[in-house]
A and B are shown apart, each in its own frame.
With several copies, the nearest count.
Chain A
Amino acid sequence: MAKMNMLQAVNSALITAMTENEKVMVFGEDVGHFGGVFRATSNLQEKFGKGRCFNTPLTEQGIIGFANGLASQGSVPVAEIQFADYIFPAFDQIVNETAKWRYRSGGQFSCGTLTIRTPYGGGIAGGLYHSQSPEAFFAHVPGLKIVVPRNPYQAKGLLLASIRDDNPVLFMEPKRLYRASVGEVPEHDYTLPLGKAEVVSQGTDITLLAWGAQMEVMEKAAQMAEKDGISCEVLDLRSILPWDRETVAISVQKTGRLLISHEAPQTGGFASEIAASIQEKCFLYLESPITRVCGLDTPYPLAHEKEYMPDHLKIYEAIVRCVNF
C-alpha cells in the first residue's frame, strides 16, 4: 500500500499495464515527454520509449481515428483526450466507428482493446470549456462502456480493468479530485469489476446515487440528513454503461426513495435513464417521485459556478423534500 493521489494512481495503472503487455500504447496531446498537462502520463515515455508513449498532433478526431485503427489491428491503445470538453471533434469516430466496429463486421474486427481516458467535471473555475460532464452523450451509444472512478483506489483498479476489458471503454477521470483525492492504493496489480455499482453506506429511508466527483458531495449531504435522523443508503454507480440496474433496484425496493445527482445539465442527463428504468422496475415500492439534483440546463457558467453546481445543500434540501413527500 502507498498513499497516492488520483493522478499517481492513474500513472501506476498505466505503468502496470504497459509493463505487462508491450502492445499497450499511450498517446494524445502532450502526453509524451511532458507527461500530459495533468502529468498523468509522467515518465511513461522514458520508461517505455517514444514508440509506445507519444505526442500526437492536435486533433481529437485524429487521435481516436488512429486509436480505432490501432485497436482493430490488435494493439492496445490508451488514448487521452486532454479535456472531456474537447472530445466532441472525435464524436463521429467514437459513436459511428469505435462503438459499431464489432457489430458491423459480425465480430470479425473490433476496437475492444481501446480505452479512452479523459478528465471531466467542474469546480475548478473552468467555465464553459473546462468543466463539462459529457457522460450522457455516450450513454446513448450501444457498444461503449463508460467508467468513472471516485478515488485513487478505484482509479487504478477500474482503469486496469478497462484496459484489459475486450470492449471500448470511455474512462472519465474527475479532474477536481486529481490532486485533492488522496488514499491508500496497492502498488501491486489489481482490478475492480466493470458494470457493478458499489454500496458505499447502508441506509433505510432513501437511496442516494451518483458517481465520480459527485460522490463526495453526496456523502456530505447524507451526513447532513443523518443529523435529521434520515437514514441514507449511498450508492456509487461506477459504471455508467452498462449500468448496474439490479443493485440500484434492490436498494430502492428497500428504501422506497431514490435521488440521483450529476453535474451535467438535467435534461437528457443520465439520471433520466436511471429514473425511467427504476420507476418501471420499482413502481409499487416508490413512496415519492424519483428526484434529480443536477446542473442547470445552461452552458457551464464561470461567474455563477457555485450557484450552478448541484452542491450538498441542494441535495440535502431535496432529500428532505423526498422524505417529507
Chain B
Amino acid sequence: MKDRNHLSNIGLSHQVNVISNGLVDIPMLQILQADGVPHKEATLPDMEKELAEKILTTMQYIRILDERMVAAQRQGRISFYLACTGEEASTVGSAAALEPQDMIMSQYREQGTLAFRGYSTEQFMDQMFSNEKDPNKGRQMPIHYGVKELNFMTISSPLGTQIPQASGYAYGQKMAGQPAVTICYFGEGAASEGDFHAGLNMAAVLHCPVIFFCRNNGYAISTPSEEQFAGDGIASRGIGYGIKTIRVDGNDVLAVFAATQKARELALAENCPVLIEAMTYRLAAHSTSDDPTGYRSKDEEERWRAKDPVLRFAAWMQSQGWYNEEQNKAFLEQSRQDVLSELKRVEKVPVCKIDDIITDVYDTPPWHLKEQLAELKAHIAKYPEAYPKTAGRL
C-alpha cells in the first residue's frame, strides 16, 4: 500500500508565527484604460475586427434589451426583469473566449453570453412572456433562460447550486473525452454559499475542466462586499483550494477575453479548474423589485458610470479604425425597433396548454398526475372564464 505523508511539503518554524497577510498581491488584469487607450505595457490578445464588432454590438444590444425590458416591467407588461448594465464586458468578453461546445452554467445576470451565442430577440421574449414557444415551457420567472442547442443550462433561482453542478458537468465532459469545458458564472454574494466551497474543492481534487467565473460587482442586493467577506475578494479563496486564479478588470472586454482564453486553455490542457474574479459594478438596480438608493450613493454609481465597459471598448475600436459611427447608429436603431416590435408580437403568444402542467415532472406522467390533470381539466371546463389563459384550448 502507498505510503503517504501529508507533511511532506511543510516547513518548520520555532516561533509562534501568526499569518495575517499570507497572500501575494492579486493584481487585476487591465489592458484598456478607462478611456479605451491600451496600457503601454499591455499585450493585447489577438482579436479580429469581426469578433470585436460582434462583441461590441452584443454589448450594445444587451444594454438596449435591458433598458426596454425594465421599461416593459414598469408598464406591467412583464412581471419581473433583471438587468446587467455595467457588467456587459464580463459576460460578453468571457463568452467570446469560449467554444460553442462549452457548457454555460450561469447565475442570472449573464444574458450577454446568451446573446453572444445567437439567442434571438424573439427567444428572449418567449421566455420573458412565459409562452408556449419558450423551450422551458414558461414555468419559471422571466430571465430564467435555458436552451440546449446553445449549450446554455436552464437557470435556477437558488444561488450557488450551479457551482458543484458545473464541476460534475465538466467531469462528465472529461470522461466522455470531449474537447469542451464548462464555465460557471456566479456573484461574489453567491460565493458565500456552502455550495461554492463544495464545488471549488471538488473541482480541484477531481481535476474538472471548469472555469469558475465570479462577477464581483460589489453588492449582493443591498449587502456590500465588505459585509460579505473579509478576505481579498473571491480570488484569495481559489488559492486556498489550490486552484489557478486570475483577477481581471471586469469592465475591460479585452482583459476579460484574454483571461478567459487563458483559463480555457489551461482547463483543457491540464484538466483543472481555473477561477476568474472579474471586478465590476452593477450599475443597474438588483432587479425591477429593487431600489439601490436605499443602500448606496449616487456619487458611487457615477464613479462607476465613468468606467462604462461599452464606451471603453467602443473607444478602443475607434482607435483601431474599426468603428463606423453611421453603421453603429443604424444598428442601435434597428435593435431598438426589433425589441419593441418583438415585444408587441410575442406578448400575444399563448401559454402552453394546460396538459403541460404535469409534463416533465417525470419522464412520463404517473397515475396520480394523470388523475390530477383530468380533474383540473374538468374543473376548467366548468369555469372557463376563471382560467382564461388555458380554458380556450382544453
User: In the complex, is A directly touching B at CB under 8 Å?
Assistant: yes
Specify which chain B residues have a CB less than 8 angstroms from the CB of A299 in the assembled complex.
Answer: 139, 361
Q: Which of B137, B199, B229 contacts A303 (CB 8 A)?
A: B137
The CA-CA distance from A37 to B362 in the complex, in Å, is: 32
Specify which chain B residues have a CB less than 8 angstroms from the CB of A145 in the assembled complex.
Answer: 362
Asked if A150 is at the interface (CB within 8 A of a chain B CB), the reply is no
Specify which chain B residues have a CB less than 8 angstroms from the CB of A67 in the assembled complex.
Answer: 168
CB atoms of A304 and B351 under 8 A apart: yes
Q: Which of A58, A129, A130 has the most CB of B within 10 A?
A: A58
Q: Which of A35, A52, A88, A105 contacts B154 (CB 8 A)?
A: A105
The CA-CA distance from A135 to B270 in the complex, in Å, is: 42
CB atoms of B222 and A34 under 8 A apart: yes
Nearest Cβ on chain A to B257's Cβ, whole angstroms:
26
The CA-CA distance from A166 to B364 in the complex, in Å, is: 9
CB atoms of A303 and B166 under 8 A apart: no
User: Residue on B with the closest CB to A71?
Assistant: B168
CB atoms of B192 and A59 under 8 A apart: yes
Specify which chain A residues have a CB less than 8 angstroms from the CB of B160 in the assembled complex.
Answer: 58
Asked if B363 is at the interface (CB within 8 A of a chain A CB), the reply is yes
CB atoms of B379 and A70 under 8 A apart: no
Known pairs A112-B363, A126-B141; A25 contacts B161 (CB<8 A): no
CB atoms of A127 and B173 under 8 A apart: no
Known pairs A29-B223, A130-B157; A70 contacts B169 (CB<8 A): yes
Among the 9-residue stretches B10-18, B87-95, B312-320, B352-360, the one with 4 or more Cβ atoms under 8 Å from chain A is B352-360
CB atoms of B141 and A109 under 8 A apart: no
Asked if B197 is at the interface (CB within 8 A of a chain A CB), the reply is yes
Q: Which of A66, A109, A267 has the most CB of B within 10 A?
A: A66
The CA-CA distance from A306 to B351 in the complex, in Å, is: 12
Specify which chain A residues have a CB less than 8 angstroms from the CB of B386 in the assembled complex.
Answer: 306, 311, 313
Contact with B along A40-78 (1 / 0, CB 8 A): 000000000001101111111110111111111111010
Specify which chain A residues have a CB less than 8 angstroms from the CB of B201 in the assembled complex.
Answer: 57, 59, 62
Specify which chain B residues have a CB less than 8 angstroms from the CB of A317 in the assembled complex.
Answer: 379, 382
CB atoms of B136 and A104 under 8 A apart: yes
Q: Which of A55, A68, A266, A307 contacts B387 (CB 8 A)?
A: A307
The CA-CA distance from A213 to B223 in the complex, in Å, is: 30
Contact with A along B146-182 (1 / 0, CB 8 A): 1110000110111111111111111111011000001
Asked if A302 is at the interface (CB within 8 A of a chain B CB), the reply is yes
User: Residue on B with the closest CB to A83?
Assistant: B157
Asked if A89 is at the interface (CB within 8 A of a chain B CB), the reply is yes
Interface residues of B in 356-394 (CB under 8 A from A): 356-363, 366-369, 372, 376, 379-380, 382-383, 386-387, 389-390
The CA-CA distance from A126 to B367 in the complex, in Å, is: 28
User: Residue on B with the closest CB to A142?
Assistant: B361
Nearest Cβ on chain A to B56's Cβ, whole angstroms:
30
Q: How many residues of A contact B (CB 8 A)?
A: 85
Q: Which of A54, A73, A75, A129 contacts B157 (CB 8 A)?
A: A129
Q: Which of B80, B290, B389 contacts A306 (CB 8 A)?
A: B389
CB atoms of A307 and B380 under 8 A apart: yes
Specify which chain B residues have a CB less than 8 angstroms from the CB of A61 in the assembled complex.
Answer: 164, 194-195, 198
CB atoms of B295 and A33 under 8 A apart: yes
Nearest Cβ on chain B to A282's Cβ, whole angstroms:
16
Asked if B289 is at the interface (CB within 8 A of a chain A CB), the reply is yes
Specify which chain B residues have a CB less than 8 angstroms from the CB of A298 in the assembled complex.
Answer: 357-358, 361, 369
CB atoms of A74 and B387 under 8 A apart: no
Specify which chain B residues have a CB less than 8 angstroms from the CB of A307 in the assembled complex.
Answer: 354, 357, 376, 380, 387, 389-390
Q: How large is the interface on B (under 10, 10 to 19, 20 to 34, 35 or more residues)?
A: 35 or more
Known pairs A59-B193, A303-B130; A97 contacts B161 (CB<8 A): yes
Asked if B144 is at the interface (CB within 8 A of a chain A CB), the reply is yes
Q: Which of B158, B193, B198, B369 contacts A85 (CB 8 A)?
A: B158
CB atoms of B358 and A59 under 8 A apart: no
Contact with B along A78-115 (1 / 0, CB 8 A): 00000001101100110011001111111111101000
Asked if B205 is at the interface (CB within 8 A of a chain A CB), the reply is yes
Asked if A297 is at the interface (CB within 8 A of a chain B CB), the reply is yes
CB atoms of A37 and B289 under 8 A apart: yes
CB atoms of B168 and A166 under 8 A apart: no
CB atoms of A303 and B361 under 8 A apart: no
The CA-CA distance from A304 to B360 in the complex, in Å, is: 14
The CA-CA distance from A126 to B389 in the complex, in Å, is: 17
Specify which chain B residues have a CB less than 8 angstroms from the CB of A297 in the assembled complex.
Answer: 361, 368-369, 372
CB atoms of A77 and B141 under 8 A apart: no
The CA-CA distance from A101 to B161 in the complex, in Å, is: 12
CB atoms of B135 and A32 under 8 A apart: no
CB atoms of A86 and B372 under 8 A apart: no
The CA-CA distance from A129 to B80 in the complex, in Å, is: 14
Q: Which of A57, A86, A130, A306 contacts B229 (CB 8 A)?
A: A57
CB atoms of B165 and A65 under 8 A apart: yes
User: Residue on A with the closest CB to B223?
Assistant: A55
Nearest Cβ on chain B to A78's Cβ, whole angstroms:
13
Asked if A314 is at the interface (CB within 8 A of a chain B CB), the reply is yes
CB atoms of A85 and B357 under 8 A apart: no
Specify which chain B residues have a CB less than 8 angstroms from the CB of A8 in the assembled complex.
Answer: none
Specify which chain B residues have a CB less than 8 angstroms from the CB of A107 in the assembled complex.
Answer: 137, 359-360
CB atoms of B164 and A65 under 8 A apart: yes
Nearest Cβ on chain B to A125's Cβ, whole angstroms:
4
Nearest Cβ on chain A to B355's Cβ, whole angstroms:
10
Nearest Cβ on chain B to A80's Cβ, whole angstroms:
13
Specify which chain B residues have a CB less than 8 angstroms from the CB of A126 in the assembled complex.
Answer: 141
Nearest Cβ on chain A to B220's Cβ, whole angstroms:
5
Specify which chain A residues have a CB less than 8 angstroms from the CB of B165 in the assembled complex.
Answer: 65-66, 68-69, 72, 97
Specify which chain A residues have a CB less than 8 angstroms from the CB of B170 in the assembled complex.
Answer: 69
Specify which chain A residues have a CB less than 8 angstroms from the CB of B176 in the assembled complex.
Answer: 73-75
CB atoms of B366 and A69 under 8 A apart: no
User: Residue on A with the closest CB to B204?
Assistant: A57
Smallest CB-CB A-B distances: 6 pairs = A62-B198, A65-B164, A69-B168, A69-B165, A73-B172, A303-B138
Chain A residues near B (Cβ < 8 Å): 23, 25, 29-30, 32-35, 37, 51-52, 54-62, 64-75, 77, 85-86, 88-89, 92-93, 96-97, 100-110, 112, 125-130, 142-143, 145, 166-167, 195, 242, 245-246, 266-267, 296-299, 301-304, 306-308, 311, 313-314, 317
Chain B residues near A (Cβ < 8 Å): 79-80, 103, 105, 130-131, 134-141, 144, 146-148, 153-154, 156-173, 175-176, 182, 189-190, 192-195, 197-199, 201-202, 205-206, 220-223, 227-229, 289-290, 294-295, 351-352, 354, 356-363, 366-369, 372, 376, 379-380, 382-383, 386-387, 389-390
